[in-house]
Amino acid sequence: MRSYTVEWCPDAERDLAAIWLSTSDPTVTSAQNQIDDLLERNPIGYGRHMGDGLYLIVVVPLTAFYTIDQAKKIVRVSAVWYSP
């Protein structure tokens, strides 16, 4: 069951595009899809709270930071990087 909408901020989208262009790692796309899936279902349960409302999720080879708007049920991914 999907409870949240996941939005990638423009900076995170640019980071992700740069990752796709700079690596031939075929797991990048599946990791990004898995991040979306996990955050749509349970962003608190699948992430690690870093403080001040910022969360971290790792799905190898990607690591992403995000925030949660509980009232609107929106998860905003603000940064992502490649960590093979």
| pLDDT of the residue at 84 | 84
Residue-level pLDDT at 74:
98
What CATH number does the domain located at 5-82 have? Answer: 3.30.2310.20
Note the pLDDT of residue 51. Answer: 95
Instruction: Summarize pLDDT for 42-66 with one digit per residue, the tens.
Output: 999 999 999 999 999 999 999 999 9
Residues of the chain with pLDDT under 70: none
- The secondary element (H helix, E strand) that includes residue 57 is strand 54-59
pLDDT of the residue at 1: 72
Residue owning tokens 């700079």: 22
